[in-house]
Copies of this chain bind each other. A is one copy, B any other.
């Protein structure tokens, strides 16, 4: 065991889990916040922003990219990273949906 039983869940559930999992690490939250803060794509510079080694940061960037939360374009010497909106909108939609639903049907119990 140890492996997630993805087969038994819907594609949508697996997709949302992948997106959420990608953000399930403070370094990856920090990367997203940094990309947002600078208000543009960042070419270089990300490694210096984080308290982690270059290989570790590179790995975190790869995971965010695989999940579809950021994208990276080669820009000469360095790589230009920015937030990938479609991925972000997908997971945002999930929370929006839950929140909207809860707002309507409050006060059942608990």
User: Residues of A at under 8 Å CB distance from B?
Assistant: 4-6, 8-10, 13-14, 16-18, 20-30, 32-33, 36, 39-41, 51-52, 71, 73, 80, 82-83, 85, 88-89, 91-92, 94-99, 101-102, 105, 108-110
Contacts and interface: CB of A to CB of B under 8 A. Distances in A.
Contacts of A95: 88, 91-92, 95-96
Q: Classify the secondary structure of A's interface with B.
A: helix
A24 to B, nearest CB: 3
Could you say how many copies of this chain the assembly holds?
2
A108 B39 contact: yes
B24 A17 contact: yes
Contacts of A91: 95
Given A8-B26, A83-B102, A92-B99, 18 more contacts: A5-B51, A6-B26, A10-B30, A13-B33, A16-B23, A17-B23, A17-B26, A17-B29, A20-B20, A22-B24, A23-B24, A36-B102, A39-B101, A39-B105, A41-B108, A41-B110, A73-B110, A92-B92
